[in-house]
Amino acid sequence: MKRLGLAFGLLFLWAPILLMVVYAFSADRIPFQWGGFSLRWFAALAANERMREAALLSLRIAAGAATLATLLGGLAGWALARFGPFRGRALLGALAGAPLVLPEVVTGLSLLLLFVLGQGAAEAVFGWAPGRGAATILLAHVTIGLAYVAVVVQARLAALDPSLEEAAADLGAGPFTTFRTVTLPLIAPSLAAGWLLAFTLSLDDVVVASFVSGPAGTTLPMLVFSALKIGLTPEVNALAALFLALAALFVGAAGLFLARRANGAG
Amino acid sequence: MALLTVQGLAKRFGVARALDGLDLEVRPGEFLALLGGSGSGKSTLLRLVAGFEQPDAGRILLEGADLAGLPPHRRPVSMMFQSYALFPHLSVFDNVAYGLRREGVARAETAQRVAEALAMVGLEALGGRKPQQLSGGQRQRVALVRALVKRPRLLLLDEPLAALDAGLRERTGFELRALQRRTGAGFVMVTHDQAEALALADRIAVLEAGRLAQCGPPAELYERPATRFVARFLGAANVLEGRVAADGAVEAAGCRLLLPHGRAPGEILAVALRPERIRLLPGAPPAANGAAGVLRDLAYRGDAWMALVALPDGTELRVALPAGAAPPELGSPVALGWAAEALVPLAG
Amino acid sequence: MRRLFILLPPMLWLLLLVAAPLGILGLIAFAEAGPGVPPFIPPLGWAGGPVWQGSSESIGTLLADPYYLEAFLRSLLTAFVTAALCLLLAYPMALGIAGARPPWRIPLLLLVLLPFWTGFLPRLGAWIGLLRDGGWVNGMLGAMGIGPLRLLYSDLALYLGMVHAYLPFAVLPLATALMRRDLALEEAAADLGAGPWVVFRSVTLPLSLPAAASAFLLVFIPAAGEFVIPELLGPPEAQLVGRVLWGEFFQNRDWPLAAGLALALLVLLLPPILLFQRLGRRG
């Protein structure tokens, strides 16, 4: 009964994805129609200038946003876990938690309004304002990623045995050395997980990016979304297969790494 | 000079007083056990000495030098944590080497001292393992040598045996004792287990509610407990309380207790009487230092029977009967007797 | 001092990019729409001093026009049905994962979460390819002599897409809670004479209710504001709040009305959000 439920759920989750991967190798012009094995849609994807540009932009934004989010979110998580009760703690907690629960349309619209007013103010003061595009998307994605990183890092720090850091101090390590040799290595996995989460969220986001972007910034999800509004094309199908392969590769590698560490750790 | 001197140490957490004006001395090369129940302040004392907490009042002197204001990493004392606090991301070797590296000891010397330390506890082959790959006993020994490899003059041990299986505890206790003699460091061990404290320590300090109840060699504490708390905590003595009569005998629980030294008449006195100092008598009980009662319950202890004898006034005495002889039937009347020397007057 | 260096960067960032935008959103909801860039008159003007020139026209429109009320009701209903379906599917899955032998648990959990990493849009693309008029499902049905059916742009497609997208979110908290449960409790119940079903109903299920509530809200909250899935899979008449807001903003360029909708959605979601955070603190 339990196994049946699990099997059904996994089938439901995976069947559409796996079918899509299979048909990515079909020569037929209509997606999900078998026309013999072919790699032509992958070739078409590689030749598609707009797709390539959008993908590159998305990757750059995602990497930058994830890195900044990890830095800021790490600091926020540290403050929440380690500073005890301080004035502004509730505010920090609420603000860091807000992007996790706000609907995407609300986040997107509110950030856009901020950027528009900011542009207006800049124009009034400097006579010139930077346009919206990659930079505004980056700011938005850092904000969302920050929230996730803060939660992950805070949870990890809270679960850490406090006597580990005391032991380091007892053995002669000053506060900075304790952080470098004990705390940082122990929270590194959660920082990595937070970075990855922020990266994925950025790479997956259509709604917020659509709101805050300008004519100059079209990310890959924005491009795919406008394509899907008309219907599925074999190129998008090939792109999805590519995405899945990359994700599987990544998760496989991470899983192997974790398994080795877990085995190494008994 | 004393190795560690604690004077009037006080620490409160919120409204709870963990330490309430504690005075204590640890001598060089001594193994001192801090014995007390939970909340007696024994772990707080350790954390104050190590520098993890700041005292509200009082002084802590190490070889005469005040430790106040020194952060934990500058204090020349080492601590072994109850959870062991082994760094999970470092190998056994790196765990033990951690303190030496912080001191800037040369690489070759570090390797040599770590190897020696691991060999001392028979773990020389496991230096490459991670702590999670060790058994509980092995972890305990790694934690111990990690604290000892820096050759501290004073080692603080927070319940070092508590996490071990009962079978391993006694053997590890002997090892701990041997290691202490070999290194010559002063050991201060926190424990709630009286048998552990009696077996290992040169001296025992019993803490009660943040104060020192009594401090002395194990035999002295056992034989001559100063207070009711110490008498009950160490070896679960019977405590009888009564008024001193005109002839100097204490009248308690319907018996007359004749102490070796007379007491002032009218005084209210508590007297400790250890279960193993009470004997079963064949006939009627003597007029003094004896009692008649009924055998209520029996528990086999291997080396003895622990008997619960109810006296006519309802008081229950714990009596240890030799295991060799068959004990009386439950519910049968018994006569008890003891020597005057077995009676220890208590101060509080 | 060091604390300030740690606290200040994220605090300033969050004040500027979370608190300020939400404040502005609340303000613009009371602005008057007008031509120009941006297409509204700021509710707070300056004429030698601050001047209030806002209006509550947008909020009035929201309350008066049944179109918007319907959008909200429909959104809540859709989110509720989605969350309920996810819970129904996720519970047996989580039980299956928690009941698997320990070395299998994490790989199984990864198998549930991996679709999340294949990308949100590609998965929706798969459903479009499967469900469209000449699509794969209709091809299969045709081979059995059924159809063709109108599957895409229907409520069926909408719910399939929603459940497919949100199911992993529901499995995760349930599986973690069920993996952590104390099996001795169930053994004690069995020992006291309860059969497998009674054990489940009287011990397992009640103890996992907080996790189930978390799972439900974890789906319900984002689903209520969902825009992309109804837009790509749902029927044109499924005008949920997310879509309506998008339309007011991008097509009608009525920013105050869009801001009003966002504000109303926020107010509506506040109770479930607070409940979710309370559950999170307890678990």
Q: Is B150's CB within 8 Å of A172's CB?
A: yes
Q: Any CB–CB contact under 8 A between A173 and chain B?
A: yes
The tokens describing B188, both together, are: 């201060």
CA A17 remoteness from chain centre? 20
- Give the pLDDT mean for B84-103: 94
Q: Any CB–CB contact under 8 A between B59 and chain A?
A: no
Q: Any CB–CB contact under 8 A between B98 and chain A?
A: yes
List all residues 6 or more positions away from B121 whose beta carbon is below 8 Å from its beta carbon. Answer: B141, B142, B144, B145, B175, B179
Q: Between the ranges A22-31, B46-55, C55-64, where is the mean pLDDT highest?
A: B46-55
Q: Do chains C and B touch (3 or more CB pairs under 8 A)?
A: no
Give chain A positions within 8 Å (CB) of C121.
204, 206, 221, 224-225, 228
Nearest to A203 by CA among A220, A186, A187: A220
Residues C194-226: pLDDT tens digits? 888 899 899 999 999 999 999 999 999 999 999
Report domain extents, chain C.
Answer: 22-29+38-44+52-282
Q: What CATH architecture is B236-338?
A: Beta Barrel (2.40)
- Round to whole Å and give the CA distance between B341 and B319: 16
Does A107 or A38 have the greater pLDDT score? A107
Q: Is A172's CB within 8 Å of B52's CB?
A: no
pLDDT at C134: 80
Residues B286-313: pLDDT tens digits? 888 989 999 999 999 888 899 999 998 8
Question: Is residue A127 classed as helix, strand or coil in its secondary structure?
Answer: coil
pLDDT at C93: 95
- CB contact at 8 A, B192 and B233: no
Residues in chain C where the model's pLDDT stays below 50: 283
Q: Is C95's CB within 8 Å of A96's CB?
A: no
Does B241 or C227 have the greater pLDDT score? C227
Question: Is residue C208 classed as helix, strand or coil in its secondary structure?
Answer: coil
pLDDT at B273: 92
Contact partners for chain B, using 3 or more CB pairs closer than 8 A, are: A
- Give the pLDDT mean for A181-197: 93
- Give the pLDDT mean for A65-80: 96
A229, closest residue in chain C (CA to CA): C232
ipTM of the complex: 0.91
Q: Return the percentage of chain A with pLDDT > 90, whole number.
A: 60
Does C33 or B79 have the greater pLDDT score? B79
Q: Kindly tell me if the per-residue pLDDT of A1 is higher than 80.
A: no
A262, closest residue in chain C (CA to CA): C103
Q: Binning pLDDT at 50, 70 and 90, where does residue A263 land?
A: low
Q: Kindly tell me if the per-residue pLDDT of A14 is higher than 80.
A: yes
Query: In CATH, what class is C22-29+38-44+52-282?
Result: mainly alpha
C232, closest residue in chain A (CA to CA): A229
Q: What's this model's pTM, rounded to 2 decimal places?
A: 0.86
Query: In CATH, what class is B4-227?
Result: alpha beta
pLDDT at A265: 44
Residues B112-136: pLDDT tens digits? 999 999 998 999 999 999 999 999 9
Q: DSSP H helical segments within chain B, as ranges?
A: 42-50, 92-103, 107-120, 136-148, 166-183, 194-200, 218-223, 228-233
pLDDT at C57: 83
Q: Is A109's CB within 8 Å of C249's CB?
A: yes
Taking only Cα atoms into account, the Rg of chain C, rounded to an integer number of angstroms, comes to 24
Report domain extents, chain B.
Answer: 4-227, 236-338
Q: Kindly tell me if the per-residue pLDDT of A266 is higher than 50.
A: no
Give chain B positions within 8 Å (CB) of A84.
none
Q: Going from the N-terminus, what domains does chain A have, and what CATH number goes with each?
A: 1-38+234-266 (no CATH), 49-231 (1.10.3720.10)
Residues A113-166: pLDDT tens digits? 999 989 888 888 888 888 888 999 999 999 999 999 999 999 999 999 999 999
Question: Is residue C34 classed as helix, strand or coil in its secondary structure?
Answer: coil
Q: Binning pLDDT at 50, 70 and 90, where does residue A262 land?
A: low
Q: Number of CB pairs < 8 Å for A and C?
A: 253
Q: Any CB–CB contact under 8 A between C175 and chain A?
A: no
C168, closest residue in chain A (CA to CA): A13
* Mutation site, A101, A104, A178, interface C, largest C CB count within 10 A: A101
The tokens describing A258, both together, are: 């974790």
Q: Is A88's CB within 8 Å of C20's CB?
A: no
* Mutation site, A1, A2, A207, interface C, largest C CB count within 10 A: A2
Contact partners for chain C, using 3 or more CB pairs closer than 8 A, are: A
Cα atoms in the Cβ-side hemisphere of radius 13 Å centred on B183: 25
pLDDT at B348: 65
pLDDT at A53: 92
Q: Is C121's CB within 8 Å of A224's CB?
A: yes
Q: Binning pLDDT at 50, 70 and 90, where does residue B26 land?
A: very high
Give chain C positions within 8 Å (CB) of A73.
10
